[in-house]
Chain A
């Protein structure tokens, strides 16, 4: 079976700033992979490049064994902030992707409505985003992402803006959801514990210009409950060392 997504030596510069300096990574079908890296490293840039928001980059990107250009919009993106439209109700926000795909608003609403319970949003269909808590906004944004039925989800720091308690709750919830649906996910995060808790594999990026410093498989069995197990803690400490230890070859 071919890999779902494969990046080989992908590089990108903005003007005279090198942002990505040869990123090589891959994601298998049904796999949950995270990208960890310092702020400003170029993580979101990888997603922009995958979703066609940028032109001109070096290297190759393959999707399901063929060049990405041949694939028809294989990604559903969840941008770094929730990007909910304040002027649309929650249900219309969730249905946005389906509407853009050409479905009528009515049909799109009907399709997403059945998922509101599972996403903990029942009863909030006709509220505006301003009436939701931060956690609910993130769930609404995630709902908008998964209903597009794309081959792969790109989640850019989905819980970055949440308080610690809500974030932990959301991480557990996401794991349960992933266990049930087995989406292929590429997740960007700053949060080492989040990455260890959710992922099958983790790529650790350097500071800008970003390179892959390490690739780490997480052999912990699922479902994962105990964040403080010795194995998890050891992996976490190991990754933190990699991130925090300023390597001599690295520019700042």
Chain B
């Protein structure tokens, strides 16, 4: 057994090694600022590991959100060095610049406390975009077959793996400019449902997504697609909705 310089046992205390200077946003609502914490560097350390280290070892009043730690639940997204990231799947080494790192809550949403953004407006917009499946069959009907190789199914497949992390929403400047804009995730969800042949609410949904704060606000600058951790392409989904809306107008259906 090796003793550290302070006589501590090396099994429980690492020798003092390289440190990262982490600036974390601390505060409530709109008032707050960056606070610096020094965190030891570890192998394969994620941003979420760093935040957890601070909460467990330095200041237990720090608030942040996570659940699965494997990129499934979408609850751990934060702004890391100015860009929105899923923190459980982001290695700190990849983002640390000159031993420094900045972690802030996601933008475009109100801050509840510290690193926790209020996701309510984000999810409200899923409802506004009619992001609910509405079927026509009851439980006594047979399951309607959907061919995996049909164009609709393939189009829906391309957008279906959304984990509701709001990274695209935080990256979108149009949301920042028009807080009522439905945003990339809700519109992407609406697009997958418009391509679900079992769904019956297409008409209402198209009206909802092409209204004032809907798909026509999108400037196609593709920040959503650039930052989506699951490689989804909300820009393409929104372009699809725009085309559908134009076609419906030409046919006199909208």
User: Does B bind A?
Assistant: no
B residues with CB within 8 A of A:
none
